[in-house]
Structure 1
């Protein structure tokens, strides 16, 4: 496997990054893929509700089936991605999702898309999305120089944020204006566009050398877990786990608090939640500039503290006045801004501190540990809201989210400077540098 800086352009600024045709192809493909994915998150459930007439419990099962591959397959995807060219993984994932959406559209037109078939399509799309996401997070480090990682991640995460805002709206509009089968075809077209764009990436990736006795997949997964557990990235993993646990807990109470305590309408609740999207776009822009000026460590700790800390204001709000609504919009905008700033910076740090042959497994391990806490967090939030009341539950869970910046501030990650040269940037033991990071 080549090093992260081999066979890449010698560019070091944003303009030269955008002159790189392979980066543009990756950005376009990832943007189309994310738009198709987030539109699909609305199209398929709407088909279940409008056409199949499913109940709330069945809709919950449908959503859970689509999310299950994150927990079930992230580690496996990481092991696979590190053995294959990321371009190959992304192309096949796009092709598979385009076929899945196309098959769903044809079945719907013929009246054969029942709930079992819809569950199968949802699980297939979720599975392929896991492989695509792990691969694209690992691909950038093979395309650009280390000093371009933050700018590159900023561009990719900015398009992902835009897709998170526009995808659901596009999916809903297509279903409303046209029909569910036509909307599904549109989703397939987005994945086809991503397929065509990423397939045109020309920069070569060397397949990791394979020994005469191939390493078992289980062993490769354990190697990824061991790498993260024994490297500075374990702090990223722990901070992500703490954040996801308490965020899921808070959101459980938050979604009850807005309509029941503040008496907000459904439209107002949707508007409040949507405010994180524009904030995330701003956070992506800031992530391209601030770490290089103030240092990656200080930006990580400060942004996490501000983004998580602003949620402590929510329990103090009362009533459904315009002032309360404006305050909620501001809180969610700030949370989205600094949360995205943390996401982009963390990704750049992880890529810089991880060897090329371990990129997929490191990304998958962090995702697995972080997202693995969300079911427990949701249960915790429901328990606290039931036993202590909504305001107390919000306060406790928002305070718990502050554990994430505290963990980062107490670790060597807080000392990372403006330039990420590699694993030597973070040494946990002065006499024994983290050579494996």
Structure 2
């Protein structure tokens, strides 16, 4: 590691406010991913919810991404991110705490649980936009890649440990107690982030602040006009659409064509987590050595392309499960390399006053197509069979690295460009 990179990394971890942000974001993500398992299990085990009701609960929890992402970006650009994160942590802790108390008293019904799921999902949208924006205001530009690597590594750990912890708590104790544990995680995040003391580098206002709708449109236009950001947006949309289709066919292919048990399917999917952790570590080093563009394109091609191996699998579980573990591990490494590097590029080429809106616009564009992709994956598997449907959907994932390879993103070197000036408000 070059001396300058080593010094930047050491300086990052000596920063008390960055450590508080890292810890707060880590336990917040753990609470979020725990609740993603706890709330559905709460509905099934405690409220005897049916399949349709469970689907409605999951949909309600995911709806805020579509409804609120763009608004969250516009608002966060005007607010102190520390305030946003503290308030959203407090709100999620109260929502899950109230659900836990009501569940223990036996007075929680499905309508109230739907309200809790929507509230937690909505507040999570604001927290996620805020913590990504907060890093830009907290650290120097040369520390962004390492800062993102640390934050995304902790998020990957939460994705591994959160669902497992939530399921274990529900099994060993009860769903209300598991919900209370989620509330405790959000409370710990609240206490950590609340201790951040450094004044934020808020963008200077110019004239009368425009209405939220205008600010949302400014964010959309800024992404559309910037070649790199437009490519990130299109590549994200292509990936999320195709990946949703892949997962629908994948979850049909594994049990029906490969005859794997539920435990084996869960084990195969879990391999993505350790791969993502390794990807986070590599993302702190590889872009500075080989160039950001080379890492982006090659990692996306490797991580997405590896799924083309899955439809070729045949044989007993002793053969297919190790192969699936390897596929998901490689996918986790490549996917996280892309996530961290793209985030650093996006943060660098975006002016401070547009950070929240750009992050929200890309999230909106990517996640907005995921439900349609899931439907397409089901249609492909139903018409052509799970194996052929999975092959077609997996081939579609290669559109994302192809878009990046044909754009200026592929030519980014070891150093990232300076951000342009933000468009004036007013």
TM-score, scaled relative to structure 2: 0.96
- Report 1:24-423 matches (<5 A): 24-210=19-205, 213-231=208-226, 232-423=228-419
Q: Deviations over 1:410-434 (max 9, x none)?
A: 100111111114237xxxxxxxxx9
* SS of residue in 1 equivalent to 2:78: coil
Counterpart-to-counterpart distance in 1, 2:219 and 2:45? 43
- Equivalent pair of 1:263/1:319 in contact (CA under 8 Å): no
Structure 1 range deviating more: 63-72 or 180-189: 180-189
Could you tell me how far 1:11 is from its partner in structure 2?
A: 8.9
Counterpart-to-counterpart distance in 2, 1:14 and 1:43? 36
* SS of residue in 2 equivalent to 1:166: helix
Could you tell me how far 1:210 is from its partner in structure 2?
A: 4.5
Counterpart-to-counterpart distance in 1, 2:419 and 2:133? 16
Q: Deviations over 1:137-184 (max 9, x none)?
A: 111011111111111000000000000000111111112222222222
Counterpart-to-counterpart distance in 2, 1:284 and 1:71? 27
* SS of residue in 1 equivalent to 2:83: helix
Structure number with higher helix proportion: 2
* SS of residue in 2 equivalent to 1:318: coil
Counterpart-to-counterpart distance in 1, 2:386 and 2:291? 38
Counterpart-to-counterpart distance in 2, 1:245 and 1:182? 36
* SS of residue in 2 equivalent to 1:13: helix
Could you tell me how far 1:132 is from its partner in structure 2?
A: 0.1
Could you tell me how far 1:313 is from its partner in structure 2?
A: 0.5
Q: Deviations over 1:90-127 (max 9, x none)?
A: 01000100110111111112211100000000000000
Q: Describe the shift of the 1:297–1:134 C-alpha distance in structure 2 as closer, same or farther (beyond 3 A).
A: same
Counterpart-to-counterpart distance in 2, 1:125 and 1:392? 38
The count of residues paired between Structure 1 and Structure 2 equals 418
Counterpart-to-counterpart distance in 1, 2:368 and 2:211? 24
Counterpart-to-counterpart distance in 2, 1:210 and 1:19? 31
Could you tell me how far 1:42 is from its partner in structure 2?
A: 1.3
Could you tell me how far 1:30 is from its partner in structure 2?
A: 0.1
Runs of 4+ in 1 over 6 A off after TM superposition: none
Counterpart-to-counterpart distance in 2, 1:309 and 1:375? 22
- Equivalent pair of 2:352/2:422 in contact (CA under 8 Å): no
Counterpart-to-counterpart distance in 2, 1:268 and 1:414? 38
Q: Describe the shift of the 1:326–1:11 C-alpha distance in structure 2 as closer, same or farther (beyond 3 A).
A: closer
Gaps of 5+ in 2: none
- Equivalent pair of 1:39/1:168 in contact (CA under 8 Å): yes
Q: Describe the shift of the 1:114–1:435 C-alpha distance in structure 2 as closer, same or farther (beyond 3 A).
A: closer
Counterpart-to-counterpart distance in 2, 1:423 and 1:29? 28
TM-score, scaled relative to structure 1: 0.93
Gaps of 5+ in 1: 1-9, 425-433
Could you tell me how far 1:38 is from its partner in structure 2?
A: 0.7
